[in-house]
């Protein structure tokens, strides 16, 4: 058992290093693609021709594979918290390679996100034992989870069709919200596929069940959507801010989806539930600290001011590269003077 947990620990740490590095590598590829054509933030797909972007994708896939295998050797309470290490890796690499300065309060925000996530996982209940994909299907079609799925899809469609075209380049929560909501459904599908593969290797072939292929199609679709909007978020905002906010929201929605689908918290003590709630509050606090201590770039045109992005805590301007790109596109149509809010000290 000791060597099994040790193997899972090593794989989980390696997974965080690969995933954290992939953020930086992919963003370098996005920056190179922007030089030769439209950026990903405005619908450009030139990054698909950049070898550096594909290297970042390969690095991410290796990290995700290591994380998947880590769950085979070690319990989730050991593997899941280590995913927060990817935040530290990406923030440090962004500081040195992308020259994206991480303030001291930003470091505190990262620490709060990590601590909060660890608290959530340490007080998370054990998962139920599942012996077939059909069991998972029964859990997936229960009214409570169907309601969550319908709500998540509805919110994603609203974000994609209305908010993304208008506020996606000025409000970080638009793209990250899409990634996080879709990601929670991705995890549920991938978990079902993983169980099917595991059971098939043990002799109980699950490929004969249509539910396995439905989970596979849903999983692949969700992954494609996640990657597309994650690219847009990285192309518009500071990597040191994208990583922890994405981690915090993705973790929160995933735990919520799992609690609804697998009834994780049924039979749990009040103290465990309260501790998990405190973990959520800690994560949200870290997110707000990162949000409020980010030094915004000077506004380049009037279009960057929208009803959803005035001087409030939910506003984050794009990074220096996005500002430069807007300046190259032409001068602003008019001039709007906005008083610098106190929370951007």
For 111-170, how does the pLDDT look when each residue is reduced to its tens digit (9 = 90+)? Answer: 887 887 788 777 766 666 778 889 989 999 999 999 999 999 999 999 999 999 999 999
Task: Indicate if 145 and 19 belong to the same structural domain.
Answer: no
For residue 300, tell me if it sits in a domain. no
pLDDT at 63 over 50: yes
Q: How far apart are CA 72 and CA 78, in angstroms?
A: 12
Is residue 301 domain-resident? Answer: no
One domain, residues 26 and 155: no
Most trustworthy range by pLDDT among 4-8, 85-89, 207-211, 253-257: 207-211
What distance in Å separates the CA atoms of residue 261 and residue 323, rounded to the nearest whole number?
43
Could you give the number of structural domains in the chain? 2
Inform me whether the pLDDT recorded for 180 exceeds 90.
Answer: yes
Q: Which residue has the tokens 């998990």?
A: 276
Q: Is residue 77 part of a domain?
A: yes
Predicted pLDDT at 78: 64
C-alpha distances (whole Å) from 206 to each of 197, 198, 210 are 7, 9, 9
Nearest-5° angle of CA 326, CA 248, CA 297?
Answer: 25
Check pLDDT > 50 for residue 101: yes
Going 224 to 192 to 64 to 289, the CA torsion angle's sign is positive
Per-residue model confidence (pLDDT) at position 273: 81
Give the per-residue pLDDT at 296.
Answer: 46
The closest of 337, 224, 238 to 297, measured between CA atoms, is 238
Which of 37-46, 141-150, 203-212, 238-247 is modeled with the greatest confidence? 141-150
**Average pLDDT, integer, range 282-299:** 62
Query: Does 106 map to a domain?
Result: no
Residue 211 pLDDT: 94
Nearest CA among 181, 177, 110, 169 for reference residue 315: 169
Domain interval for residue 258:
125-295
- Indicate if 152 and 243 belong to the same structural domain: yes
pLDDT at 317: 37
User: 175 or 109: whose pLDDT is higher?
Assistant: 175
87 and 153 housed in the same domain: no
Residue 160 DSSP symbol: I
Q: Which two tokens stand for residue 273?
A: 């539930």
pLDDT of residue 319: 44
| Three-state helix/strand/coil letters over 108-159 | HHHHHHHHHHHHHHHCCCCCCCCCCHHHHHHHHCCHHHHHHHHHHHHHHHHH
Residue 193 near residue 212, CB atoms below 8 Å: yes
Residue 172 has pLDDT above 70, yes or no: yes
């Amino acid at each position: 058992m000791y060597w099994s947990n040790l193997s899972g620990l090593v794989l989980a740490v390696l997974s965080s290093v690969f995933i954290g590095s992939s953020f930086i590598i992919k963003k370098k590829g996005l920056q190179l693609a922007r030089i030769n054509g439209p950026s990903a933030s405005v619908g450009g797909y030139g990054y698909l021709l950049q070898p550096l972007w594909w290297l970042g994708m390969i690095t991410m896939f290796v990290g995700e594979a290591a994380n998947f295998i880590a769950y085979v050797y070690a319990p989730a309470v050991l593997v899941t918290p280590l995913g927060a290490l990817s935040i530290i890796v990406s923030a440090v690499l962004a500081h040195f390679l992308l020259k994206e300065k991480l303030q001291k309060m930003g470091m505190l925000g990262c620490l709060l996100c990590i601590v909060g996530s660890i608290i959530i996982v340490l007080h998370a209940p054990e998962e139920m034992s599942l012996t077939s994909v059909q069991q998972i299907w029964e859990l997936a079609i229960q009214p409570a989870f169907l309601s969550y799925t319908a709500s998540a899809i509805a919110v994603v469609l609203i974000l994609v069709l209305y908010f993304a075209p208008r506020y996606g380049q000025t409000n970080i929560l638009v793209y990250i919200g899409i990634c996080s909501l879709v990601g929670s459904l991705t995890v549920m599908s991938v978990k079902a596929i993983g169980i099917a593969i595991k059971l098939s290797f043990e002799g109980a072939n699950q490929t004969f069940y249509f539910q396995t292929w439905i989970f596979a199609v849903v999983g692949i679709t969700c992954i494609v959507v996640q990657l597309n909007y994650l690219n847009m978020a990285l192309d518009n905002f500071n990597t040191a801010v994208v990583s922890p906010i994405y981690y915090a929201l993705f973790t929160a929605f995933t735990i919520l989806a799992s609690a609804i689908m697998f009834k994780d918290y049924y039979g749990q003590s009040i103290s465990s539930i309260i501790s998990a709630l405190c973990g959520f509050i800690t994560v949200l606090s870290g997110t707000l600290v990162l949000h409020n201590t980010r030094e915004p770039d000077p506004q380049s045109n009037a279009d960057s001011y929208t009803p959803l992005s005035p001087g409030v805590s939910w506003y984050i301007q794009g990074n220096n590269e996005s500002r430069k790109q807007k300046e190259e596109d032409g001068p602003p149509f008019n001039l709007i003077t906005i008083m610098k809010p106190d929370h951007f000290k």
